[in-house]
Chains A and B, each alone.
Chain A
Amino acid sequence: MTSDLGQTPSQTVGPFFGYALPFAGGPQLVAPSRADAVVLHGVVLDGDGLPVPDALLELWQADADGALVQRAGSRARELGRFTGFGRSAVDVDGHYEFATVLPGAVAPSTTGWALITVFARGLLHHLFTRAYFLDADAALPADPLLDRVDPARRETLIARADGPGSYRFDIRLQGEGETVFLEYADRA
């Protein structure tokens, strides 16, 4: 039976979101000068391996203790509150950079990860992925999602340390090294 309450369909964010969605301090979940601040950065690439210059990323994560913060203030960075939410448009080279804290593990995961949502011109429906934060040489942890993903593609979900307090997470929308993207099922 058709319900009157059908899901409202998605449409692309288009090319002209840049004056509407980014906001002051959006990529800084914490002040970059904070002792425990880390950088999460990378590029968004298309199926030809070229940078996507008109993508927008959102970050949603727990705090360092693995707690999800449920309080207002994400758009009011002057208050200095960590809320776990960040938003960053990429630059002309497809590059983005967040300042955040290493998320603590939230069960059933045994390592901290952040939810990343990708919007772009040309993308009719946003994409979800996860960034698991790992040291440069750390082995993959046991994790319900990582255990299920094709081993050849698992590394696309890993934000690897590429320097002190810095983690690299590139997003490939299509083609070689395509990022693992997620969709969610309802529990019946």
Chain B
Amino acid sequence: MSTSTGQDHGAVAGPALESQATIDAEVASIHERYAGRRANHPPRDFAPYRSSALRHPTHELVTLFPEEIERTSPAFGHVDVDPYESDLTIQHTGEPLGERMTVTGRVLDGDGRPVRNQLIEIWQANAGGRYIHKRDQHPAPLDPNFTGVGRALTGDDGSYRFTTVKPGPYPWKNHRNAWRPAHIHFSLFGQAFTQRLVTQMYFPGDPLFALDPIYQSITDPRARERLVAAYDHDETVPEFSMGYRWDIVLTGSTATWMEDEHDDE
């Protein structure tokens, strides 16, 4: 058995997966095509993320002004979320393994106004990079003291705070030796359903960013950086936990392209 030589660990024979270099070249070619154009969201058709191939529409989306239903959002309150649900380290009898951390920030609309009293849901792998999910085949240990699910309501200033442990990176089968950078999944509601957002928060300086076709599916580097939390020493609690800060902006516009001086098409 190999240990750290980069060979497949206990891999079973299957269809040959493509190399990281193949994926990187595809990503580079798409980024070149989109260069200089501002885009907030990833294109749904992004071939280097193989699972997108049969799951993106090929027709243009129909653009419309939102009607009242789309301009409103469900309300959530303390009947829906218990305050303890924002601490992912107290859901079992013992403490989870890993690097204890807090992640805090504000949810804002495009004008900087707080998104108040709205639901945030998170889920994540444990410190070893393993999800409590029956389809997660990564042979890393489960942690009996960690589920990896949290919920919170934003405060009157749009703020939220979770206590958890830092998730580990994990392998997946998009291509050979594919690894996801460490991330926390976030689900957010705004004041209008058009602001609904599901995304992933990443950690600063991750060497896997350049290699990950999901992170790289966001073609505008300025937009990609908005998914990376900042280490915040003021949020680090002495003798207790690392602090990260991540603000989330929900504008509600899903138009693919914003007006930009470089947009020459």
Q: Which residues of A contact B (CB under 8 A)?
A: 2-3, 5-21, 46-48, 50, 52, 58, 60-62, 68, 70-76, 79, 83-85, 106-109, 113, 115, 117, 119-128, 144-145, 148-149, 153, 173-175, 178-187
> How many chain-B residues does the 8 Å CB contact rule pick out?
80
Q: Are B40 and A6 in contact (CB under 8 A)?
A: yes
**What are 17 A-B pairs at a CB distance below 8 A?**
A7-B249, A11-B215, A14-B185, A16-B135, A19-B149, A21-B123, A47-B55, A60-B74, A60-B193, A74-B74, A74-B80, A75-B80, A121-B55, A128-B70, A149-B62, A174-B54, A181-B61
The one of A2, A75, A115, A174 in contact with B57, judged by C-beta atoms closer than 8 angstroms, is A174
Given A6-B222, A18-B133, check contact A184 B63 (CB 8 Å). Answer: yes
A171 to chain B, nearest CB (A): 10
Q: Are A184 and B55 in contact (CB under 8 A)?
A: no
12 additional A-B residue pairs with CB within 8 Å, beyond A11-B42, A117-B196, A153-B59: A2-B222, A6-B226, A9-B227, A14-B200, A19-B123, A46-B55, A48-B54, A52-B55, A125-B44, A182-B64, A183-B61, A186-B253
A113 to B136, CA, bound (A): 37
The one of B69, B110, B132 in contact with A5, judged by C-beta atoms closer than 8 angstroms, is B110
B199 at interface by CB-CB < 8 Å: yes
Q: Are B76 and A122 in contact (CB under 8 A)?
A: no
A33 to B61, CA, bound (A): 37
The one of B69, B185, B255 in contact with A106, judged by C-beta atoms closer than 8 angstroms, is B69
Q: Are B123 and A83 in contact (CB under 8 A)?
A: no
A64 to chain B, nearest CB (A): 14
1/0 per position for B55-93, CB-CB distance to A under 8 A?
Answer: 111110111111111101111111111000000000000
Chain A interface helix/strand/loop/mixed:
loop
B256 at interface by CB-CB < 8 Å: yes
Q: Are A184 and B196 in contact (CB under 8 A)?
A: no
Q: Are B254 and A183 in contact (CB under 8 A)?
A: yes
Please name all residues of chain A whose beta carbon is closer than 8 Å to the beta carbon of B75 when the two chains form the complex.
Answer: 70-72, 74, 83
Chain B interface helix/strand/loop/mixed:
loop
The residue of chain B having its C-beta at the shortest distance from the C-beta of A49 within the complex is: B54
A73 to B74, CA, bound (A): 9
Given A85-B74, A181-B57, check contact A7 B80 (CB 8 Å). Answer: no
A14 to B181, CA, bound (A): 14
Q: Are A115 and B70 in contact (CB under 8 A)?
A: yes
Q: Are B135 and A173 in contact (CB under 8 A)?
A: no
A157 to chain B, nearest CB (A): 10
